[in-house]
Chains A and B, each alone.
Chain A
Amino acid sequence: MIEFRDVSKRYGADLAVEHFSLQIPARKVTVLVGSSGSGKTTLLRMINRMVDPTSGVVEIDGVDVQTVAAVALRRSIGYVMQSSGLLPHRRVVDNIATVPRLNGTATPAARERALHLMDVVGLDRSFARRFPAELSGGQQQRVGVARALAVDPNILLMDEPFGAVDPIVRSDLQQEVLRIQRETETTIVFVTHDIDEAFLLGDQVVILGTGGHIVQQGTPEEILAHPADDFVASFVGSDRGKRRLTVSTRAGQGDDRVLVDAGGYPVGVIAAPGGKLSIADASPRSRSISNKTDQAGDA
């Protein structure tokens, strides 16, 4: 478990985070979501001491991180950032093997492990000898995730890791994260400004206002069903009825039912068991199922 107790961080006169307290359960995905200025990245970076709090305590399993040497701490925690941050002069396989090598693992063993991790993150082994600049953005992020997993960390910190990849690839990567988390039971702390991503990935979602003020925390279901206030309602989009779905009277094929939101846009289909999937009434106004692009703009 990771615990923040009354943590504040000030940069000169600016308060980035003020009196922040939170418990992050082990072996779950906790998503910190908020717009820029909410201090979410600062909070994330306090866990591996990339940022030290001005006051307050951050504990991992009851141990104050300030008592652990920063370098050793960071090597035990996986970290994935938005720009993959890969070392441009090292091949993919060596990028993934970086931390094990730092920890003294022999090169052949570290490379072998790196190749295995490429399988884990769904990256073909033929990319092993390439340089980061020879990969697409999505592939680079996969390498970033593999590198973070290289030391078999108990904690994985992810700072808007998929913010810069296109929506289809992002969706794939999100599914990979969920799968990897299920398989490894790693504690993941994930930072994003995309509420859909938060709801998709988070066992626990923490919505942050400015200065790291917790506006609401809970499971996606709880937040969606009972937004704490107008800010959250607007943030998750329920105020405009985008989240309030009804079964359309317009017929789908067979027994399928079309879902529409309060604005009248068809957002998806409930497939009848055994029936064929189809988007009924595919008028030009039809939207994608996830509403993702709209939400990103709202957030």
Chain B
Amino acid sequence: MNFLLSAFAFIFDPTNWLGDAGIGARLLAHLGITVVSILIALVLAVPLGLLIGHTGRGRSAVIALTGAARALPTFGVLILFVLIGINFGAGLSLTPVIAVLAVLAVPPLLAGAYSGVEAVDRETVDSARAMGMTEWQILTRVELPLALPLLVGGLRSATLQVIATATIAAYVAQGGLGRYLIEGIQLRDYTRAVVGAILVAALALLVDGILAVVQKLVVPRGVSRGATRTTSSTGMTARRPTRSPDATRTPVTEG
């Protein structure tokens, strides 16, 4: 427990927050790497995921991709990218790290976007089309709003993944809260390692908590009201929105 106490003492000492290698700078670097990687991944994954969900084409490719991505050891892929970067003269820059993090964030975002659209009741989409909505209007006014909760779910997974991988990226690159962990392990300064562990865990929990709130907020009110109504009337079996009990489960059970 001494290590925990000394770690907290370190964290609550304001002087440790300052300077280039202080907590403040590393926290900002960690957040910066995370945000940039996620933004790149969002730009790549979300339009593609929405398109796949809307057209139904390429589903199996996404499923295979997310499955394969799960089997890849992120640590190994990270080091591979960094070494390739060095071979191409990038040195120990952040570019290969951000590239790897963005690539890792793509599968969960893709899956969130496509399964979100796919979970929208087909009858709702059919009737929107029958009313004379264009495909674009169906996508932006019907499918996207209804897909947002699952899409943000994908964002949560991706963000957690990136925060965790950015931590181990400190092994091969400067910056980020992972530096405390790596330095602590390498210098056998256990307090320092625990400092890193606490800060990284706190950051992950905080960001995930914020995204969890966002996820609740983006549930369209009509849908959440429907869901609550069902819960109260029929109990535990119906925790899902009324209109599409099967659709929300699609990614799990269709296999």
Partner-B contacts on A (CB < 8 A): 45, 48, 50, 71-76, 79, 81, 83-91, 98-99, 102, 131-134, 147
* Shortest beta-carbon distance from A154 to chain B in Å: 14
The complex places the Cα of A151 from the Cα of B223 at a distance, in Å, of 26
Residues of A within 8 A of B141 (CB): 87
Q: Are A50 and B129 in contact (CB under 8 A)?
A: yes
Q: Are B242 and A79 in contact (CB under 8 A)?
A: no
The chain B residue sitting closest to A92, CB to CB, is B222
Q: Are B133 and A71 in contact (CB under 8 A)?
A: yes
Which listed residue (B137, B145, B146) contacts A102, Cβ 8 A? Answer: B137
Which listed residue (A45, A74, A89) contacts B131, Cβ 8 A? Answer: A74
Which listed residue (B123, B225, B227, B241) contacts A81, Cβ 8 A? Answer: B123
Residues of A within 8 A of B130 (CB): 45, 48, 50, 74, 79, 81, 85
* Shortest beta-carbon distance from A136 to chain B in Å: 11
Decide if the interface of chain B is mainly helix, strand, loop or mixed: helix
The complex places the Cα of A133 from the Cα of B130 at a distance, in Å, of 21
Residues of A within 8 A of B124 (CB): 85-88
Q: Are B221 and A85 in contact (CB under 8 A)?
A: no
Partner-A contacts on B (CB < 8 A): 121, 123-124, 126-134, 137, 141-142, 145-146, 220-223, 225-227, 229, 241-243
* Shortest beta-carbon distance from B239 to chain A in Å: 14
The complex places the Cα of A84 from the Cα of B121 at a distance, in Å, of 12
Query: Can you list 21 pairs linking A and B with CB atoms under 8 Å apart?
Result: A50-B126, A50-B130, A71-B134, A74-B129, A75-B132, A76-B132, A79-B131, A83-B127, A87-B124, A88-B124, A88-B146, A88-B222, A88-B226, A89-B146, A89-B220, A102-B131, A102-B137, A132-B222, A133-B222, A133-B225, A134-B222
Given contacts A81-B123, A102-B137, A133-B243, contact A87 B128 (CB under 8 A): yes
